[in-house]
Amino acid sequence: MKDPSSTINNTNVNNKRRRKDESNRGGGEEEEEPKADFENKKKKMKKTEVLKELLTSFILLDEQEKSDQQEWDKISQHESSLLDSNHKKKTQTMLDYYSDFQDYYSDLEESDRFLIQQSRLSVNKIATQIAANPKSKDSKSIQGHQRRLWVKDRSKAWWDQCNHPDFPESDFRKAFRMSRATFDMICEELNLAVTKQNTMLRDAIPTRQRVAVCIWRLATGEPLRLVSKRFGLGISTCHKLVLEVCSAIKTVLMPKFLQWPDEERLRKIEKEFESVSRIPNVVGSMYTTHIPIIAPKISVAAYFNKRHTERNQKTSYSITVQGVVDPKGVFTDVCIGWPGSMPDDQVLEKSALYQRANGGQLQGSWVVGSCGFPLMDWVLVPYTQQNLTWTQHAFNEKIGEIQFVAKSAFARLKGRWGCLQKRTEMKLQDLPVVLGACCVLHNICEMMNEEMDPDVQFELNDDEMVPENSLRSMSSKNARDNIAHNLLHHGLAGTSFL
């Protein structure tokens, strides 16, 4: 059995040891706490230094950017000042040149005015001398001497050769697209409209030469400088002659050779077309072609020809010529000058033919058009839908025969008059008169049975688009179906579609 006092002593010893251990443990923790605080402080200092470095770099970059911007502004201001000074110098130079130019021309005009006054005074003096003493030697010598003032001497050898009676007929026809007899008839018709009187300064250009300048220019499409060399005239004179003669053709010859037929003539046309196609009441074959032009200065988009541009891979501008022809290919109606971007149906609505039809003058008659025109009470067009029946094929075949008449006429028109095949330097406002003159001359050649030279044959390349509203009348649809039915079931249609 243990002694109680020893037990108590052991307990006290253990308690002392425990207190000592706890005190030792607590002292260690107190030593560890300052070390952790020091490490945290070091980390915070490092972060602060990194932030200071970043801020410093940002500040330096900002200052560098400001300095670069200032330098760039200085350079820009310097360049701007240089440009302004150069522009002012150029402007001043141009103004000085223009003022010198004006001074030169004002001096030149004054000298010309003085020379004209002197020449008039001398002419008046000569005329007075002749009137006072017409039998004197001086007056006879003055009358015998031909004065040629303000005219440059140019060679007229080519035209003199063509105008000679011994000039070969084949060569004349090749140059002017018509025989000498037809040319003489045109000159006779236009004589009163284009003839000018001689003056005291120079002789007027003869009527035959005036007409020849115009027709050769239309036939070949050659530039005015070549026309000038051929006929021994100035370029501006040739241009003026072409417009004057074309205007005279429109005024004098168009009422005689290009007019809508009267009732008697319409009945003959119907019979001739019916004998060709077996389709009754056809009074004309209609077609629309495009004439290339130089890009106009105004409304460029309106004259842009998208289809020709896509096909030829070259930007194209054009104006339209819509025409109706009889069975012989003679034009009975034309509509000229609408922009090339307009489709065929819109050009038709702008034409005098459309107004004539709305007035009831085409009631009971047909004008045959291509698929670019709408089906109307007076316009007969082919079927355009897919999967046609035999009846519709037969009808389209006969419509194609009538359409061939118009296409052939336009091909001969462009073949004869080469000015229609390429872009011309004429102004846009002058073109309708020139194109109208070409149509009138075409009719004259067709009526006079002028043969086409094989070397001037032309192939048409006009694109046709089906209009958005291709059916304008249900009654016309029924009438077309009846015509197609009669063609096939009465043995009037061909058999090439089978």
Where is 356: in which H helix or E strand?
Answer: helix 352-358
> How confident is the model over 58-71, as a mean pLDDT?
85
Residue 23 confidence (pLDDT) above 90: no
Residue 155 confidence (pLDDT) above 50: yes
Q: What is the DSSP string of 278-344?
A: S-TTEEEEEEEEEEEEPPPSS-HHHHB-HHHHHHHTS--EEEEEEEEE-TTS-EEEEEEEEETTS-H
Could you tell me which residue, 329 or 45, shows the higher pLDDT? 329
Region of poorest pLDDT, from 21-30, 329-338, 457-466: 21-30
The answer to whether 321 and 440 are in contact (CB under 8 A) is no
pLDDT reported for residue 145: 47
User: Which CATH architecture does the domain made up of 156-255 adopt?
Assistant: Orthogonal Bundle (1.10)
SS3 417: coil
pLDDT reported for residue 83: 74
Cα(46)–Cα(49) distance, rounded to whole angstroms? 5
Most confident of 45-49, 90-94, 152-156: 45-49
Q: What values do phi and psi take at 324, rounded to 5?
A: -115, 135
> How confident is the model over 72-81, as a mean pLDDT?
81
CB within 8 A of 282, min separation 6: which ones? 269, 270, 273, 274, 365, 366, 367, 368, 380, 402
How, if at all, do strands 331-339 and 317-325 pair? Answer: antiparallel
> How confident is the model over 162-169, as a mean pLDDT?
94
The rounded radius of gyration (Å) of the Cα atoms in the chain is 47
> How confident is the model over 436-459, as a mean pLDDT?
93
CB within 8 A of 351, min separation 6: which ones? 322, 333, 335
pLDDT reported for residue 498: 41
Mean pLDDT of the chain: 83
Residue 494 confidence (pLDDT) above 80: no
Instruction: Tell me which residue of 391, 390, 396 sits closest to 370, measured CA to CA.
Output: 396
Tell me the pLDDT tens digit for each residue of 304-358: 988 888 888 888 999 999 999 999 999 999 999 999 999 999 999 999 999 999 9
CB within 8 A of 192, min separation 6: which ones? none
Portions of the chain given CATH number 1.10.472: 156-255
Q: How far is CA 86 from CA 77, 79, 81, 83, in A?
A: 14, 10, 9, 5
pLDDT reported for residue 496: 46
Residue 33 confidence (pLDDT) above 80: no
Region of poorest pLDDT, from 78-87, 237-246, 423-432: 78-87
> How confident is the model over 433-453, as a mean pLDDT?
95
The answer to whether 431 and 293 are in contact (CB under 8 A) is yes
Region label for 344, one of left (φ > 0), alpha (ψ between -120 and 50) or beta (otherwise): alpha
The answer to whether 142 and 130 are in contact (CB under 8 A) is yes
- E strands, 234-281, in order: none
pLDDT reported for residue 146: 47
